[in-house]
Each structure stands twice: as C-alpha cells, then as structure tokens.
Amino acid sequence: MDDLFRMKLEAAIGGLGFATLTPAKLPRFEEWKGKLAAEIEAAKMHAQLFGDGRDTSRSTVALKDEDRALILGDVRALVKVGRTVAEEVKTAPTYWRVGSPTQSEQGLLVRGKQFVAFAREHQDVLAGYGITAERLAAMTARLQALEERITAKNSATAQHVVARESLAGVAKRLVRALQALDAIYAQEFIDRPELLAAWRGTTNIPWPGTKAARAAKAPPAPEKGGAAT
C-alpha cells in the first residue's frame, strides 16, 4: 500500500489499541470505537484485494525496444513491397506509410494489422517479394503479443484507478473515526493532559511535507560515546 494509506492504517490500529485499553465514558465512544474497528478490517481487506494501489501499467507491460523494432521492421517490409506493387494490387502509393517510429503502441498495432490483413488478401502477389505465409504468420504472432500487452496495460490502468478510489474512501473513513474519537478523548481527558497526549501520540499521522513526516523517514542518529572502529 502507498505510504500515506499505510500511515493512516497504522494510526487507526494504534488508536483502536489505545481505545481498547483506555475506554472513555462518553455515550458515543463505543459507537465510534466499533466504526474504527470495522474500517480497519475494511482497510486490510482492500489492501489485500488491490495490493499497494500503485500504477503498474507502465512498468509491467511496457513494450521493449527490441519488440518495437521487430514490429516496425515488419511494417517497413510490407510498406516497401506494397509501394512496389501498388498498381498491381490497386492501391495508392500514399496508402503505404510506415508512420512515426515513436508512434503509440496502439497506433503501431492498428497499422501493422491493417497491412498484414492486406498482405494476406494479396498474398499471391506479395509472396513473390518474400512476404510468404510463414513470414505473415511470424508478423501476426508479434502483433498478437503486442495486442495482449496493450490489453494487460489497459487492465492494469483500470485496476489502478479503481484501487485508488477505493483505498481513498476507506482512508477517509478511518480518519473520520479517529477524529471523532479524538473529540471524545479531548473532553474525557480535559483534566488529564498526559493521557490526551498519549492518545494523540499513538494516532498521529505524519502527513507528507511536515516535520513529522521528515522525522519518520530520517535514519536513526548514531549513538554517542560508541566504541571507535
């Protein structure tokens, strides 16, 4: 799970532990304690269901440079032959375009499938220029692998969006329950500041960019008076 969600969950777990050991007497205490416990379980379930909520669409299914080069090579070969036989297969020379080497994966897939389909339709002509059935089969396999990669990428992106929205909702409810208990403890411990400080120390969330967050990430200071090495 991402760092902020993890910190909120840890604060909620710490708060529930404190509330269990140090219950308040105010009427709404048990209600909000129960809500906090329920949201903690929901948060754990969501974390298991969606993982860390990070966007894996690029890192896990990115098209490798060598794969792109192979597919571009296929397209270039078809374009070169297609221009040669343009009159014979009744196409305009402008039909045969390689496209930008940096075009999107989707654009590369569409262009590749378009030319392969055309080549299959006129294979009797293109075979004489080396575009054989075996060559087309290899091209088709590479395009199919690219299409599967794009599908996986789109699926990962959609899952990331759903995960972020779902985790954000759970995190919001966790914080809401902690805020309600904080309001209760502020009155319960109005004459016992040490207990209120203990509660708030347990449930503190080091928000990004704050001193608390920087302190939480800082490495521990070396002990003074240690033996020289």
CA 1/CA 133 separation, integer angstroms: 49
CA 203/CA 7 separation, integer angstroms: 9
Contacts of 129-138 spanning 24+ positions with Cβ under 8 A: 129/81, 129/84, 129/85, 130/77, 130/81, 131/77, 131/78, 131/81
**Which has the higher per-residue pLDDT, 208 or 169?**
169
CA 174/CA 167 separation, integer angstroms: 11
From the number of C-beta atoms within 10 Å of its C-beta (0-12, 13-18, 19+), residue 227 rates as exposed
Note the pLDDT tens digit of each residue in 26-83. 999 999 999 999 999 988 888 777 654 454 444 444 556 777 888 888 989 999 998 8
Least confident range from 73-82, 84-93, 134-143: namely 84-93
On whether the CB atoms of residues 17 and 178 are closer than 8 A, the answer is no
Domain ranges across the chain: 3-58+161-208, 65-153
Banded pLDDT at 3 (limits 50, 70, 90): confident
pTM to 2 decimals? 0.51
CA 200/CA 213 separation, integer angstroms: 15
Looking at residue 214, the DSSP 8-state letter turns out to be H
Average pLDDT, the chain: 81
